[in-house]
């Protein structure tokens, strides 16, 4: 029998969440100070959900945070959960506390219309048991400062101070992320990259404006000492732009940093041909690494919102979800003009059968159908021509952390 689970809402329950996390993550917290903070804020609405599992004495022994986000998915803005703070007290581990929390959390998210859940795992196999799978990689470029010499920055540039409004950054970011799956439409409290004073914290925020005075790009970076040479690495926390020419303007600005900086490290969408842009490709290098795991919460909703080919078509897909059985079934999908016309449960013959992990990868566009042939839990039974047009690689760009 799984442990009892509940949402944590009172100051005492939220404090128990912090205490569990402190032990689980080997960190520290001031219990008295935190309780005082929570008591003072008890009437203020929270923008995340805290969950707890209880032992036989109804003491909280396992906890989890579900941060609420709005993200891009095939041209739609959808509700997503960002899991964090997953921790159990050592004496309560292997007793099903985290499993029980996930089960209740998923059911609520399913009922409320959430499309997906995302997390950063300590172990990919561990979270795979809950239906999560790698659905995004992070491509980090390190470019020597001299590589930007051929780029010019002719735009007006201004630096944001600590308390300056972020309106120009928000305008550019909202346009930049359109069509990039998993990108977050940030609330005011989710602009973590912009936090900090340029003079005290050395968090530098620069906005690039066109001839009309309107913002066209921005970059936020911090200096990091270089290990093997004198000078700094400009580590970019966040960057957005409206057009390729705007990005070239940012590159031109980077060259202005050459007196103190030796290189720039940044993340860019995978369709940006960085090594082709740089005159000497030896002056740049790329590191691609896993960037979290994701799972679709509601298969029906994902199939309804997915982007489809313009020409009309139809296919059937069977999804097996061992952890959230509400998703189990065979779906018949009809589409035309780039969108779904109908998504219905059916008993028809199968075209494709997948696990929830593979469906999540296919739906978000992390892999295309042909690539799944390397995997053991995908079976194509027929209608391959249509399936290959539906399940294609899509543009993705997810760089936020939680």
What is this structure's pTM?
Answer: 0.93
Average pLDDT over residues 107-122: 96
Q: What is the CATH number of domain 4-114?
A: 3.40.630.30
Residue 237 above 90 pLDDT?
yes
Q: Please report the pLDDT score of residue 44 as a whole number.
A: 84
Render 330-370 in DSSP notation, one character per residue.
EEEEEEETTEEEEEEE--SPPSEEEEHHHHHHHHHTSS-GG
Residue 372 above 90 pLDDT?
no
What are the distances in angstroms from CA 164 to CA 159, 194, 210, 215, 298? 9, 11, 20, 15, 40
CA separation for the pair 193, 401 (Å, rounded) = 9
Q: Tens of pLDDT along 273-304? A: 999 999 999 999 999 999 999 999 999 999 99
CATH 3.30.1050.10 fits 294-390, yes or no: yes
Q: Tell which wins on pLDDT, 228 or 230.
A: 230
Q: Please report the pLDDT score of residue 351 as a whole number.
A: 98
Q: Do 4-114 and 138-290 show the same overall fold?
A: yes
Pairing of strands 339-345, 284-290: unpaired
Tokens standing for residue 374? 């390397």
> Do 303 and 76 touch, CB atoms closer than 8 A?
no
Q: What is the CATH number of domain 138-290?
A: 3.40.630.30
The fraction of the chain above a pLDDT of 70, given in percent, is 100
**What are the sequence ranges of the domains in the chain?**
4-114, 138-290, 294-390
């Amino acid at each position: 029998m799984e442990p009892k689970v509940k949402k944590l809402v009172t100051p005492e329950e939220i404090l128990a969440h912090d205490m569990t996390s402190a032990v689980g993550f080997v960190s520290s917290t001031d219990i008295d100070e935190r309780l005082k903070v929570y008591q003072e804020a008890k009437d203020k609405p929270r923008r995340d959900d805290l969950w707890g599992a209880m032992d036989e004495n109804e003491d909280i022994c396992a906890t989890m945070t579900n941060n609420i986000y709005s993200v891009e998915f095939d041209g739609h803005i959808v509700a997503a959960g960002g899991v964090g703070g997953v921790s159990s007290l050592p004496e309560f581990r292997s007793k099903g506390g985290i499993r029980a929390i996930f089960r209740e959390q998923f059911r609520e998210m399913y009922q409320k219309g959430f499309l997906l859940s995302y997390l950063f795992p300590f172990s990919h196999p561990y979270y795979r048991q809950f239906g999560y799978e790698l659905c995004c990689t992070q491509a980090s470029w390190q470019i020597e400062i001299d590589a930007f010499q051929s780029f010019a920055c002719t735009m007006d540039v201004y630096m944001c101070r600590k308390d300056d409004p972020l309106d120009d950054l928000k305008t550019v970011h909202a346009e930049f992320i359109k069509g990039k799956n998993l990108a977050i439409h940030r609330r005011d409290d989710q602009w973590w990259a912009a936090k900090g004073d340029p003079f005290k914290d050395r968090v530098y925020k620069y906005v690039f404006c066109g001839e009309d005075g309107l913002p066209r790009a921005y970059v936020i970076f911090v200096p990091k000492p270089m290990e093997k040479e004198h000078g700094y690495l400009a580590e970019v926390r966040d960057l957005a732009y409206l057009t390729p020419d705007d990005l070239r303007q940012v590159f031109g600005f980077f060259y202005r940093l050459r007196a103190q900086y030796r290189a720039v490290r940044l993340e860019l969408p995978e369709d940006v041909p960085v090594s082709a842009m740089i005159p000497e490709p030896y002056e740049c290098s790329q590191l691609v690494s896993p960037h979290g795991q994701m799972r679709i919460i509601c298969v029906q909703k994902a199939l309804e919102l997915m982007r489809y080919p313009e020409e009309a078509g139809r296919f059937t897909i069977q999804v097996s979800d061992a952890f959230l059985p509400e998703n189990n079934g065979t779906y018949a999908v009809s589409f035309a003009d780039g969108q779904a016309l109908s998504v219905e449960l059916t008993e028809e013959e199968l075209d494709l059968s997948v696990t929830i992990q593979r469906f999540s990868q296919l739906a978000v566009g992390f892999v295309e159908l042909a690539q799944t042939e390397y995997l053991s839990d995908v079976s194509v039974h027929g209608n391959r021509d249509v399936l290959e047009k539906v399940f294609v690689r899509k543009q993705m760009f997810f760089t936020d952390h939680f």
